[in-house]
Structure formats: C-alpha cells, structure tokens
Structure 1
Amino acid sequence: MPLGIIDSHRLEHVPGTAPLEKVQNAGLPETGLARNVALKYDKTGTIVLIPQPSDDPNDPLNWPRWRKELFIISAIWGAACVGAIGPLLVAAYVELAQEWGVSLARFSSGTNGALIVCLAGATMVVNVLAVQYGKRPVYLVTSLGLVATAFWGSAAKTFGSFVASRAIAGVCMAPLEGLVPASIADVWYVHERGMRTALFNLAFMAGVSIGPLIAGQLIQHYSWRICSYAMAAALVINTILTFFFMPETAYVRNTIKLDSTTYTVRKLCQRMLFCADSRLKTNEIEVKNDIEHRDNITTTEMIESHATDVTTNQDLPPRKSFTAGLAFWSGYHYPVPFWKTLLGPLRMARSPIVLWTSLVFMTAITWIVILTVGASQIFASPPYNFSVGAVGNIFLSPFIASVLGTLAARPLIDGLVKFLARKNHGVFEPEFRLPMMACYLLFTATGFFSAGQSLSRGMPWELPVIVSLGFINFGIVLTITVAIAYTVDSHPEQAAEAVSVMVFLKNMFAFGSTYYINDWIAGSGVRTVFFTLGGITAAISVSAIPMYIFGKKMREFFAMRGWAPESHY
C-alpha cells in the first residue's frame, strides 16, 4: 500500500505509475543493479525521464532548452489573450446593456453564453483535428480567426452582430484552452510539467484578472470599441508568436514501452528493499528463487532484457532547421477515420479520474466566471457605487494572488511529488499530487465564506476585494494545476482526449452559470450565493481523500476494461 494508496494486484503495470527517481541502495548488492538499467535520466542523474525520449533530435522532448521555453512563452501569451476575451467588457456590463437596449441578464448570457457554448462544442472538434493532422495547423488557423473576430466585434453595429462575433471567437479559443496542456505533455517531462502547467494557468488567470482591469480604464477614458481594438492588437501579436515559436509537437516515438520496464524495476527493487528488513528475511529466499527460476539468467540480464534498446531508431534524421519548423503542416497524419477519433474523448469520459478532475476543473473555472460576471452588478451598486474603472481595478487583487499561487506551485506541487516518490522507493504515483487539494478548502472555500459575509454586511471594500478574492484565486490556481497534472499523469497517452473532456464539461457548466448568476445574486443575495459556492468547494476538496486512496484502483479498473482510445503517438 504505497503511502496510503491501495495498490494494484491484477495488473502488472497500472498506467501512470512510473519510476520518478533512482531506487536508493538499501545495502544489498542486487539493488545497485537498478542503476545499470538502460533508462535515461535528467542531467543530475537522479530522476528518470518520463516519458523516455528517443535519440531523434527532432523529438520535442529533445528540443534545445531555448526552443522549449519560447514555445511555452508563446502558449502563455495566447492563454492570457484567451483568458481576457471572455470577461473583457465586464466592468461596463451595466452601461453596455443600457446602450444596446437589453436587460443585464440577456446581455450577459448573449455576450458570454454564446462564446462559452461554442467554445465547449469546438473543444472536441479541434482535438480530433489536432490528433489527425497535428496541433500546429489548428493553432495557426484559430489564431487568425481570433484576430478576425476581434476586429469584427469592435466594429459591430448591432447586438446580434456582436454576439455572433463572440460565438465564432469561442470556436477559435478552443485550442488554446484544450490543447496547450497536451502540448506541454509533448514537450516537457513529468517532473517538469507542474511548473509549466501552473504558468499556463497563471496566464489564463492573468487574462481573466488583468484584462478587465485594463479594459475598465480604456472604456472609462475612451470607449468600449477602443478597448476591443486593443484586444485585437494583442491577438495579432499572438498570431506572430504562434507562427514563429510554436512548431509541431506531435511526434511518433518509436520506442519500447516503459511500462514493462517500470514494473520489472519496481517489483524487483521493492522486493530487495523488503529483504533488507530483518523482519522480512524469509522473503530473500523467495526473491532469489524467483530470479533464478527465470531460465537461470542473472538479475542484471533480466532487468536489461526489458530496458535495453529503449530507443529503436538506427538511422537518425538530421535536426530540422528553424525555418523548416515554420511550415504550416509538418506532414504528420494519424490514419484513423475522423468519426473514430471523435469517439476518443467520449471514451475517456468513462474514466473515473477524468470525471472527478472535470468536476474540480469546471467548478474552479466557473467560480472565476461567476466572479467576473457578477463584479459589475455587486460593486457598481450601493453601498460601494464603483465607477467602471474602479470595478476593473478590483481584479488586481485576484491577479496578484494568481501570481503568488503560481510561484508556490513548483515548491508545493512538484516538490511534494518528488518527496513522496522518494518515500515510495523512487516510484511515482499520480495520486501524489492530490494532497495539494487541501488548498481548495483552506483558501478558496474560506474566501467565499468571508466574501459572502463581508459583502452582505457592507464592510469596507478592502476585505472582500483584497482578502477574499485573493484567497479564492490563490486556491483556484493551485487546484487547477493539480487537476490538469493529475489527469495528464494518470492518462499520459491520452492526455489530449482527457483534457478536452475536462474543457468541454467546464464550458458547458460555465455556460449555464451565465444564465442564472445575475438573477441568482439579485434574488437570493450575495451572502447566500457565496456561501453556497463555498460549501460546494469544501465538499469537492474533501472528495480528494477517497480519490487519493482509491485512485490507483480506478486507473486499474479503467485500464483492464480497455476503454482508453489507442494512443496516436
């Protein structure tokens, strides 16, 4: 039972379980043999690289560091832009609803609802296109579409035209929400993904928080159309970065699966570690007999029979030039019918892990949507009576909290994973990320309770804005990072399909919230609304406990039924 996680007894290897660090020498001669396994390690020689890279210099895992960093910087800029598009005009919702001659509820549902529902529907389609033809063509086409819809919305003359531009923008936003986590998995190793995923989440959160702040000032001093044109300019920059610094990451890695190696190394070394305990000396005979029984081969030969020739490439191609990576299409093609690929995300929706992380993800993001949609309604009314610019300024606190959450992600999330893997004799379990779900309870739930109480009592704005919203966003950043990383780690070969399910469910849930949030706040009061959100957050946080205990059994259950779509890499 690895650190409280119920172990698997029916599968030799459960997807997601992997050796993260070298197994430490326990004093037995055999344990040192684990170091002879032909696995690849990081530069320190202490962390096994998961997934194992090939020897091909064009393998995204082998890209030079500068290329990887430019890729993530470009993705971060795009995520920030996408995050800003949704709540761009929230600071002026009340005024714009009056200008268009519609109710606040209709303006909110039309402006955000159309965008979110189209984003949800497009998530599945862009995932299929990315699987079939690679991610780069999808990124390029949709980045151009975002520029076009931004200019269209800026010049819209009617409310219907404006809503239509937002709907198509939602379609074009889908790749930067649904594919980037999978791209991170293409380019970075398991022990490096936590920080990059956190940076992606920070960028998205920064767009949500800083976008309305800047937009509020532009609207107040100029107009909402000038603000929208400024958004279009930012999207032009996104297209340029995408073209130059986001080459194709889809890659067919012709390597022997690490799974069998992982299991062999793990089981042998754990048995040897057990032998080191005087209370379990009787196991030493069983281990030796088990090893000698395998056709009288040595322990070293048995392990290396699984691990040698991890890379099967004999004639390695030359490294592609920078300009070669600028091609619209790399030539990658996954030869499976479109409809069959479309079923991939639907099959992943049967995974208990994906369903639970989708619940976490969709609530966390929807809480942000609710806060942004309701900001103008809450703070532009008595007793606060904020101006458009002041409403925008309240998002500075969530942004600072998001930055702090991102800075804390690496030492807390990645550091915890490495610590627990070391305690588990170097074997990584995806569930090692789940203890950080405590932050959802300690910060986000607490933030909602304090916000509901302070706003309902008309307390000074510093308490709900600086303290409560800061707590909420700090916890959300860490929680989103945990949810995405846990999903990708549990289903490493179906990361794109799994994340697309999460994004789809999140957007459908957020779409529904845009229809009722304003009326809910007006009818029930801010205290009831925020206390309800805090209670839901607390319940989801506590649900991480059984997920930690039974998560590996759930991964075993899903794998044994063969429900996962075939890996396309």
Structure 2
Amino acid sequence: MPLGILDDHKLEHVPGTAPLNELGREDLEIDQGIDRNLLKHDPTGQIVLVPQPSDSPNDPYNWSRWKKEMFTVVIAYGCGCVGAVGPLLTPAFVPLASEFGVPLQRFTLGCNGSCIVSIAAGSLICNTLAVKIGKRPVYLATTLGLAVSCFWAAEVKSFGSLAGARTVQGFCMVTLIPASIADIWFVHERGFRAAIFNLGVLGGINLAGPIAGSVIQYGSYRIAMHAMGGAFVLMLLLVIFFMPESAYHRTGALNIDTSDKTITTDKLEKSFEKAEVQQIEGRGMSISSTEPPLSWKQELRPWSGYFDHVSFWRTLLRPFVVIASPVVLWATLLFTTCISWLVLISITLSQIFAAPPYNFSVSAVGATNVSSFVASVIGTLAAGPIIDGVVKLLSKRNRGIFEPEFRLPVMVTYLIFTATGFFAWGESLYRQQPWPIPVIVCMGLINLGVQLGTSSVVTYVCDSHREQSAEAFAIMNFIKNLFAFGLTFYVNDWIAMQGVRNCFFVIGGITVGCFVTTIPMYVWGKRARSWVFRYKVLDRVLKAV
C-alpha cells in the first residue's frame, strides 16, 4: 500500500506507474533481466525519464531545451489569446445589450453561450483531426479561423451576425495543449508546464476584462475585436515558426509506463493492445536510429505527413469511450466545475458591479480581474515546486516508484483557497462590503486554488492515460463547455432572484463536494487504472480496424 494508495496484485505492472529515480529499483535488473543502465535519465543522472524517449533526433522528447521552451512560450501566448477572446466583451454586456436592443439574458446567451457550445463541438472534431493527421495542421487552421472571426465580429451590423462570429470563434478555440504537453515533456517536468498552460488560459480570461473594458469605454467594442484579431495574426506567425508537429510514431523506445509489463518495447504503429515483452540483452546496449533529423525548413511544412490508421469515425467516438475510465470521469467532474465557475463569475461581473452600491464603469468592471491574474501568476510560480516537488518527494518515499496519484495531494489547495473564496465572495457581496474585499481577496483566493487544482488534474490525466490524453481532454472540454453553456441560460436570473450569497454558497458547497471525491480517487486510483487495462474498457473503439 504505497503511501495510502491501495496496491494492485492482478497485473505485473499497472499502466501509469513508473520508476522516477533509482532508489530501490534493483528489481529492474533482477526480475526482468534488464540492465538498469539501459534506462535513460535526466542530465543529473538521478531521475529516470518517463516516458523513455527513442533514439531518433526527431522524437519530440529529444528536442533541444530551447526548442521545447519556445514551444511552451507559444503555448502560453496562444492560450492567453484563446482565454481572452471568450470573455472579451463581458465587462460591457449591460451597455452592449442595450445597444443591440436585446435583453441581457438573451445577449449573454447569444454572445457567450453560442461561443461556449461551439467549443464543445469543436473539441471533438478538432481532436479527431489532430489524432488522424497531427496537431500542427489543426493549430494552424484554428488560429487562422480565430483571426478571421475576430475581424468579422468587429464589423458586424446586427446581433445575429455577432452571434455567428462568436460561434465560429468558439469552434476554433478548442485547445489541444494538454496533449501537446504530454508529447514533449517528461513526467517530472509536466507540473510546471501544465501550470503555464493554465496561466495562459486564466491570464487571458482575467486580463481581457481590464484591457477590453477601457478600450470599449473610451473607444468601442469594435476596436477591441480588431485588436484581438491582430493578436491572432501574431499567434499564427508564432505557430508557423515555433510549433512543429509534436505527434510522433515512436518505435524502439523502452516502455516503462503504459504497458502491463515492467518493461516493453514500443512498436511503430499506435496500438492499445498489450505489448509483448521483448528481452534486451547485453550491458550498455542501445537502439540506434538511422532516421535523419528534419531540417528547420521541413518542420515549417503545414502537414508533417503524420497519419493514424484508425478509422475517422472510431477516432470521433474515442472521447466518449475514454470517459469510461474512472480517472477521466473524476477529472471531468473537477475540471468542469473548476473552469465553469470562472465562466459564471465572468458573465455576472457586469451585472454585479455595474449596479448599486458599486456603480462601476465598464473599465472599472474589467479591472476587477487584475487580482485574479496576479493570483494565477502566483499559482504558476508555486506550481512547479509544489506539484512536481510533491511527486518527487513521494516517489522517493515510495522506493523510487512514481504513481500518478501522487499528483492528487495538491488538490487540497483547491479546497482551502477556492471553496473558501466562493463562500467569502457571496458573503461580502451580500453585505455590500468595500470592493477590495470581494475583488482582491475573494477573487484572488478563487483563482489561486483553481490554478493549482486544474494543474493537478491535467497532469494526473496525462500521467494515467498518456496514450489517450488527447481523447481524454476532448471529452473533458466537451462536457465542461456544455455545462458552462447551460449556465448562460439561467445564471443572471439566478442571481437576480436568489441573490449573490445563496448563489455562491451553493457553488461553494458543490466545490467542497467535488473535492471530497479526490480522496477515494487517491486511494483506489491504481486499482482503477488496472481495471481499465485488464477489462479492455477502451479497446473496442480505440483499437485500430
């Protein structure tokens, strides 16, 4: 029972479990006849690389540090733009609803609701295309679509046209970033990079308001949309030059994390069947690669030639099958509530602070998000030492064996900060306390907890289902956006009828309830991963035909 996690005795090796350092790993040599020196390590020589990279120079795990970091920088900027375009107009919902001559609830539904529901549809279709032909073509197409739709929204003449532009934006806002993180970063490096992904999204959400609020108040929403379109043009250039294809058919690498054997060898084709154990003889032996490195010019091609042989329709159905995994089901619950509550806050800020006793202007309503951005930055800086640090510490105490469940203790920060923040937010607004209390203290707590919590959820899914991470995040985004879309139907009326305290006390209670499910997930998570593998829960649709 490794540190409270119930062990599994039905598989030789549970997928997801892996050696993270050499402490206590003599079993690799004694039990399997494998020389531990065959395993590749980080530059310090102390941490085993999980997953094990191949010997090919084109394997994304073997990219240079500079190339990986630039890829991540573009991720952060792109996520910021995508995060910003959603709530860009929310500080001005009240005056814009009057300008277009529609009720606030209908404007919210048409402007944000249409965007949110199309994200759900886009997450499935774009994921299918990404699995079939690689992620780079999808990144290029969706970034171009976002630029065009922003310029369209800036020139609309009617509310219907604005809703149409927002629908296109939503379809193109689908994110494949968590799967891309798993494509290029090792387990011990993913916590901080997942936090960067979240910072981009949350930073965009939180900074869109302060910036767009002032632009809209002193200019117009059209100027804000034109500027957003320009930001995506820059993003398109960054994707072209600094985001090569990260999907890769890996062959010859030692598989120490996704098989039911302690060590297997990856095949060329992507397969979800149990791999056969291949004995590797000889001390110090390594698999040589004759694959020539791709030139920078070759990497600029819109499509790398990557192709997955699984049928299109089976690929489309994959996300709905992956939800059968208890890990993905739990992650969907937490991810949905984490992000949807932030959407709820963003679409009610104008309603709350534009009214008495605060009477904020459009720019002042937008500025309320500054504290949320600061909290997200703090959460990002803390995520690396906390999330990755906890994993390394617990792995050492577990005789050098990493369990994905070691990501979950950090979820206690979600309970402490986010749940407390929601209760305090509702109470402070009910009592009409000075604006620094709800805006700085409460929103800061909420976003700090969400940043750490979602980073933990994202890395847990990547570590538990590395090969199915794209499908997992597709269904997570699909369900999250359907739930958020449902909120747009009633949230403004909910607050108007029941008041902010009752509304956010309910949200705070749901947050606590969702967190409690983390405890059984930590205890039984390893057995859940074993069950998924043993009963081939994912194979019927995920298996190639």
TM-score category, normalised to shorter length: over 0.9
Aligned-residue offset at 1:420: 0.3
Aligned-residue offset at 1:13: 1.5
CA contact (8 A) 1:38 1:307 kept: no
Candidates 481, 484, 494, aligned match of 1:510: 484
CA contact (8 A) 2:35 2:284 kept: no
Candidates 312, 319, 332, aligned match of 1:338: 312
Write the mapping of 1:14-93 to structure 2, written as runs, cut at 5 A.
Answer: 14-24=14-24, 36-93=36-93
How many residues align? The count is 526
CA distance in 1, matches of 2:284, 2:535: 27
CA contact (8 A) 1:261 1:306 kept: no
CA distance in 1, matches of 2:50, 2:181: 13
CA contact (8 A) 1:521 1:529 kept: yes
Look up the equivalent residue of 1:76 and give its one-letter code.
Answer: A
Q: SS in structure 2 opposite 1:525?
A: helix
CA distance in 1, matches of 2:121, 2:284: 39
CA contact (8 A) 1:217 1:389 kept: yes
Write the mapping of 1:92-491 to structure 2, written as runs, cut at 5 A.
Answer: 92-174=92-174, 177=175, 179-255=176-252, 257-259=254-256, 305=279, 314-491=288-465
Aligned-residue offset at 1:310: 11
CA contact (8 A) 1:91 1:389 kept: yes
Aligned-residue offset at 1:561: 1.3
CA contact (8 A) 2:202 2:376 kept: yes
TM-aligned CA distance change 1:309 to 1:118, over 3 Å: farther
CA contact (8 A) 1:256 1:311 kept: no
CA contact (8 A) 2:52 2:253 kept: no
1:271 paired residue number? none
Is the aligned partner of 1:550 residue 2:506?
Answer: no
1:277 paired residue number? none
TM-aligned CA distance change 1:307 to 1:133, over 3 Å: farther
Deviations 1:245-289 (A, max 9, x none): 1111111110255248998779xxxxxxxxxxxxxxxxxxxxxxx
Q: Which moves more between the two structures, 93-102 or 251-260?
A: 251-260
Aligned-residue offset at 1:24: 4.3
Deviations 1:411-430 (A, max 9, x none): 11100000000000110001
Aligned-residue offset at 1:309: 9.8
Look up the equivalent residue of 2:202 and give its one-letter code.
Answer: M
CA contact (8 A) 1:6 1:549 kept: yes
CA contact (8 A) 1:255 1:311 kept: no
Q: Which moves more between the two structures, 519-528 or 327-336?
A: 327-336
CA contact (8 A) 2:11 2:260 kept: no
Look up the equivalent residue of 1:23 and give its one-letter code.
Answer: L
Look up the equivalent residue of 2:378 and give its one-letter code.
Answer: L
CA contact (8 A) 1:39 1:310 kept: no
1:297 paired residue number? none
CA distance in 1, matches of 2:114, 2:413: 32
Aligned-residue offset at 1:30: 7.1
Look up the equivalent residue of 2:162 and give its one-letter code.
Answer: F
Aligned-residue offset at 1:305: 3.6
Q: SS in structure 2 opposite 1:360?
A: helix
2:272 paired residue number? none
Look up the equivalent residue of 2:247 and give its one-letter code.
Answer: A
Aligned-residue offset at 1:318: 2.1
Report the aligned-residue RMSD: 2.2
CA distance in 1, matches of 2:284, 2:436: 58
Q: SS in structure 2 opposite 1:422?
A: helix
Deviations 1:105-149 (A, max 9, x none): 000011111011111011111111011111111111111111110
CA distance in 1, matches of 2:183, 2:5: 28
Q: SS in structure 2 opposite 1:323?
A: helix
Aligned-residue offset at 1:316: 1.8
Q: SS in structure 2 opposite 1:252?
A: coil
Q: SS in structure 1 opposite 2:23?
A: coil
CA distance in 2, matches of 1:541, 1:253: 37
1:524 paired residue number? 498
Q: Which moves more between the two structures, 305-314 or 150-159?
A: 305-314
TM-score (normalizing by structure 2) = 0.93
Look up the equivalent residue of 2:214 and give its one-letter code.
Answer: Q
Look up the equivalent residue of 1:207 and give its one-letter code.
Answer: G
Percent identity of the aligned residues?
Answer: 50
Look up the equivalent residue of 2:131 and give its one-letter code.
Answer: V
Aligned-residue offset at 1:244: 0.7
Q: SS in structure 2 opposite 1:559?
A: helix
Deviations 1:377-424 (A, max 9, x none): 000001110010110110000000000011110111100000000000
CA distance in 1, matches of 2:533, 2:160: 47
Deviations 1:34-63 (A, max 9, x none): 873411000111111111111110111111
1:294 paired residue number? none
CA distance in 2, matches of 1:260, 1:82: 32
Deviations 1:444-483 (A, max 9, x none): 0000111111100111011000000000000000111011
Unaligned runs of 5+ in 2: 264-276
Aligned-residue offset at 1:337: 1.5
CA contact (8 A) 1:40 1:52 kept: yes
Aligned-residue offset at 1:172: 0.8
Q: SS in structure 2 opposite 1:88?
A: coil
CA distance in 2, matches of 1:312, 1:24: 23
The answer to which structure has the higher helix fraction is: 1
CA distance in 1, matches of 2:467, 2:429: 46
Q: SS in structure 2 opposite 1:329?
A: coil
CA distance in 2, matches of 1:304, 1:317: 22
Deviations 1:178-236 (A, max 9, x none): x1110111111111111001001001000000011100010111111111111111111
TM-aligned CA distance change 1:393 to 1:68, over 3 Å: same
TM-aligned CA distance change 1:419 to 1:151, over 3 Å: same
TM-score (normalizing by structure 1) = 0.89
CA distance in 1, matches of 2:386, 2:46: 20
CA distance in 1, matches of 2:284, 2:319: 29
CA contact (8 A) 1:199 1:406 kept: yes
